[in-house]
Structure 1
Amino acid sequence: MKLLQVSVGLPKTKQLENGTLVTGIGKEEVEGCWLRKESFDGDAVANTSFHGGVDRAVCVYPFEHYALWEKQFGSTLPRPAFGENFTVIGMKEEDTYIGDVYRIGEAIVQVTQGRIPCITIDHHTGCKGLMAEIVKTGYTGYFMRVLEEGFVAKDASITLLERGESVTVLHTNRIYFHGPRNEGEAKEILAEEALAPAWRNKLVQRITKNR
């Protein structure tokens, strides 16, 4: 596992063909930054419905996916193309579990949920259809909550302190976006205490609706 880049930024107004969009996706690399309970210093989100808050304090994206998307869309993607705070290596969705606890620099963080991508990714990268491919593959990146605040330098080490119970981010994404094949799959995810309440509530609603 390796931390490749730390990035932060405040919301900005982006000009689109048919209007404007206020978004916090346009972050920039920093040498290091203090990570607080709800965000990094100097970092903020625009759409609080899908970003920000204690369960989504840190956005992480695996660098391995960059090559896949660049090849598929024929475009170079400068980091952080997906508005992530941490660009990482060796921590893909299939290798990372809901509930994983890591020490990254001085901070201790825990994986809480996959990311729900929005069309802003297409606008920001100029790759039309990228958001749909991210949902299709489950290569969304993921969010973390902060268990212990601290300074994180760009070359900080990553140490796994505790492994989540049983479900990877990729499996959780597939169930969340494409639906469980049976109720047991959803219940398996719900058994993970670290799962973000927003995702927990959504899965409970689906179980209730399907009965």
Structure 2
Amino acid sequence: MPDSRILHVNVGAVREVEWRGRLVTTGIWKAPVEGRVALRCVNFAGDDQADRTVHGGPDKAVYAYSREDYDFWREEEGFDTPPGLFGENLTVDGIDLSAALVGERWSVGSTVLEIAQPRMPCFKLGLRVGDAHFPRRFQRAGRPGAYFRVVQEGEVGAGDAVRVLERPDHGITLRYMTEVLTDRGKAAALRAVPNLPEFWDDIAHGRIALE
């Protein structure tokens, strides 16, 4: 990825939003920040998640979405796509995230990040874009973005290059993982991936039934 780079670093605090007659707490509203932003443990400075049982945490510490995938939503689906719309911390350019390998390690700024899993959208993505049915459209599009673990803390800023440090040899991409959700015959192959998040490990070993 010789020309891959960070377009925006996006953060956002938790807020309350009314959704279908009730108040919901969410950190999905994120916006670009200037300068270099510290990444410590599981969060960028100024960023937070409302419920770390399903968002954030070690296996979802950083979420990235690509400019190329945003182009799809803008050109094919008619979306206005400001940076941070889908709640990503890093808006990246020059990267096919769906083709990235689980366990792949990136050097970004002074950090090292490891791809952990694709995004499984919940209702809060629909809340963010004002369409309760959008999470299903997002899932069907096969453009999930990437969740990362933090291997090395540091700082990241817009314009930083993205460099791949390591690529595992199992061949399991984020696209393949999303395909597993609709093709249970592919699930066993996930067992070749070290350090799978619990949800995906359960799928790989048949502890979660797929439709």
Instruction: Work out whether residues 10 and 42 of structure 1, in 8 Å CA contact, stay in contact via their aligned partners in 2.
Output: yes
Q: What secondary structure is seen at the aligned counterpart in 2 of 1:155?
A: coil
CA distance in 2, matches of 1:172, 1:90: 21
Instruction: Work out whether residues 95 and 168 of structure 1, in 8 Å CA contact, stay in contact via their aligned partners in 2.
Output: yes
Q: Which residue matches 1:203? A: 204
CA distance in 2, matches of 1:29, 1:83: 11
- What letter is aligned with 2:189? E
CA distance in 1, matches of 2:73, 2:133: 11
Instruction: Work out whether residues 187 and 203 of structure 2, in 8 Å CA contact, stay in contact via their aligned partners in 1.
Output: no
- With structure 1 as the length reference, what TM-score do the two structures score? 0.89
CA distance in 1, matches of 2:41, 2:166: 19
Instruction: Work out whether residues 98 and 144 of structure 2, in 8 Å CA contact, stay in contact via their aligned partners in 1.
Output: no
Matched, 1:154 2:174: no
Q: Which residue matches 2:33? A: 30
- With structure 2 as the length reference, what TM-score do the two structures score? 0.89
C-alpha offsets along residues 5-54 of structure 1, whole Å, 9 cap, x if unaligned? Answer: 10111111112342222100001211221111211122111122321111
Q: What secondary structure is seen at the aligned counterpart in 1 of 2:120?
A: coil
Q: Which residue matches 2:120? A: 116
- What letter is aligned with 2:205? V
Matched, 1:144 2:148: yes
CA distance in 2, matches of 1:74, 1:17: 25
| 2:10 maps to which of 7, 11, 15 | 7
Q: CA deviation at 1:121?
A: 1.2
Q: Runs of 4 or more off by more than 4 Å in structure 1?
A: none
CA distance in 1, matches of 2:192, 2:120: 21
Q: What secondary structure is seen at the aligned counterpart in 1 of 2:65?
A: strand
Q: What RMSD over aligned residues (CA atoms) do the two structures have, in Å?
A: 1.9
Gaps of 5+ in 1: none
Matched, 1:69 2:70: no
Q: CA deviation at 1:149?
A: 0.6
Instruction: Work out whether residues 35 and 150 of structure 1, in 8 Å CA contact, stay in contact via their aligned partners in 2.
Output: yes
Give aligned pairs, total: 205
C-alpha offsets along residues 151-202 of structure 1, whole Å, 9 cap, x if unaligned? Answer: 1112211110001331110111110x2132x2xx323222111432332123
Q: What secondary structure is seen at the aligned counterpart in 2 of 1:59?
A: strand
C-alpha offsets along residues 57-82 of structure 1, whole Å, 9 cap, x if unaligned? Answer: 10111221222222444331221111
Q: What secondary structure is seen at the aligned counterpart in 2 of 1:188?
A: helix
CA distance in 1, matches of 2:136, 2:75: 16
Q: Which residue matches 1:102? A: 106
CA distance in 2, matches of 1:195, 1:164: 13
Instruction: Work out whether residues 36 and 150 of structure 1, in 8 Å CA contact, stay in contact via their aligned partners in 2.
Output: yes
- Percent pairwise identity: 29
Q: Which residue matches 1:191? A: 192
